[in-house]
Structure 1
Amino acid sequence: MSFHGQITDPADAHRTAAPARTLPVYDARRLTDGDGTATIVLDDKAYQLRITRAGKLILTK
């Protein structure tokens, strides 16, 4: 598997790598202000983002 347009398989060396697209990065702990929950709104609908004790993310409507 290659990341960021890097060619790792010599058989793929003839292919032109697509430019890497930079995606925004958000720290879930900063989004939740330390209490482990945040509300995210999309198209006037609210979703709850929660960090579990096991360190996993759950997004619910």
Structure 2
Amino acid sequence: MIRAQSKAAPELRPDPTCHDARSLTMGGATATIVLDGKLYTLRITRAGKLILTK
């Protein structure tokens, strides 16, 4: 028998290293992130998932 597992939503605490994806995209669907001089694109899909591409 397979049972569905449900996890409680994580408690959100103020954390300076935690960033809201919608804030990073300024309400849009994409944000550009730079790491060591290389550009990455963070995209929020229509399904609400995140994709990070180089």
Q: Is the structural similarity TM-score above 0.5?
A: yes
CA RMSD of aligned residues (A): 1.3
What residue ranges of structure 2 are gaps of 5+ in the alignment?
A: 1-14
Normalised TM-score (structure 1):
0.61
**Cα distance, 1:46 vs structure 2:** 0.1
What residue ranges of structure 1 are gaps of 5+ in the alignment?
A: 1-21
User: Match of 1:31?
Assistant: 24
Normalised TM-score (structure 2):
0.69
Q: Which amino acid aligns with 2:22?
A: R
Which structure features the higher share of helix residues? Answer: 1
**How far apart in 2 are the matches of 1:27 and 1:48?**
15
Identity %: 70
Report which of the two structures shows the higher radius of gyration computed on alpha carbons: 1
